[in-house]
Amino acid sequence: MEDLNIKQLTLAVRTIAEEKNLPEETVMEVIEQAIAAAWRRDNGEREQEVRAELNVNDGTAKVYVQREVVEDPINDATEISLEDAKKLKKDAKLEDVIEEEHTVTSFGRVAAQTAKQVVLQRLREAEREVVLVEFEDKIGTVVNGMVQRVEPRVVRVEINKAVGILPQSEQIQGEFYSVGQRIKVFIKDIERDNRGPQLILSRGNEAFVEYLFRQEVPEMETGAVEIKGIAREAGRRTKLAVASTVPGVDPVGTFVGGHGTRVNAVMNEIGDQEKIDIVTFDDNVDTYIRNALSPAEVVKVEIDEEAKRAKVFVSEDQQSIAIGRGGQNVRLASKLTGYELDIETAVAKPAEKKPKKNIEEGLFAAIEEQGE
């Protein structure tokens, strides 16, 4: 790469902005960051605080090196004595930050290479930021995407011009992905860190299931039925608590659909290995807990409202059903109801024994009846 000419760089601002579909101010900031990095590479030290200002009108650039005013400087790259600081700024005092101005017109080959790398990296980040801004209002919705790359801990999914990541924690357990595969994904969030903005996707959260049901159950849009709660272990089981706001409307039947068409449509998307229990929500906590533990039959519920716990008594033959494989049923029911549920076996009451009458008393009574 040839030496970096500042004037040529300023002339390129508008061209880069048009080609990349970026605001000129953004391109200016990127180039200023590159100039600062190049100056530090040629003249400064890594720990120095350096900023640059580009003047597109005359094609010049100024670099400002920041140093703190201290009594006894230890590091000349970041510190300056009060005596030297006053030569640059008459009213300088201890703990001030002094900026030394340097005019630059060009950089050598090595610094130019550094600048180029910074420009390319920052422009990519800026482009990604612009693209992802379009998704700000799509957070909380489900969109179609195509698997771009499968990595050990993350799947990269292309959505229009953007690429989002589907972390392992947001995937459906047991689900496999292949490059080119088209999938539905829930746009969970846009995270910003030192690597730039990241579009976070999910298929494993509760909101994904809720959105899928919303597409299948038009009564949700009219407000006739609603989802009151979801507890999910993606790839294994989901419990859905539903309610009706219209008398006579069966909420469970509405979500299941005729011949199971609605719930099956959702299962086709998340995989039929994940079972879906749809139960009726109830304001009565006792009833709600009983419903949530379906398909287990509950004998009695003892609620500790203050501790948000409940003892649930079931018959011996229902205990394994109430707990579920690996504790899954009771775990999901606890999450759904908001109560820590303890499953206990109900002790069957012994049948009341009728007192045996003395045989003789019985005979005498019979004789007396005959005599009368």
**What integer pLDDT is reported at residue 243 of this predicted model?**
98
Q: Which domains does the chain carry?
A: 4-133 (3.30.1480.10), 136-204 (2.40.50.140), 217-279 (3.30.300.20), 282-372 (3.30.300.20)
Token pair belonging to 249: 């409307």
Strand segments, DSSP code E, in the chain are 4-5, 49-55, 60-70, 79-81, 97-104, 106-107, 142-150, 154-159, 162-167, 182-193, 196-202, 225-233, 237-244, 275-280, 300-304, 309-314, 340-345
3-25 pLDDT tens trace: 556 777 777 777 877 777 778 88
DSSP secondary structure code for residue 160 in this structure: T
115 SS3 class: helix
Overall average pLDDT of the 62-85 stretch = 87
Angle between helices 109-133 and 24-42 (to 10 degrees): 150
**What integer pLDDT is reported at residue 195 of this predicted model?**
66
254-292 pLDDT tens trace: 999 999 999 999 999 999 899 999 999 999 999 999 999
**What integer pLDDT is reported at residue 1 of this predicted model?**
39
Residue 357: pLDDT above 50?
yes
Strands 142-150 and 225-233, bridge-based pairing: unpaired
Report d(CA 117, CA 174) in Å as an integer: 40
Residue 296: pLDDT above 90?
yes
What mean pLDDT is reported for the chain? 86
89-103 pLDDT tens trace: 888 889 888 888 888
Residue 40: pLDDT above 90?
no
Q: Which residue has the higher pLDDT, 226 or 129?
A: 226
DSSP secondary structure code for residue 285 in this structure: H
C-alpha separations of 187 from 9, 138, 142, 163 in Å: 38, 7, 6, 12
Report d(CA 146, CA 370) in Å as an integer: 95
Q: State the pTM of this model.
A: 0.66
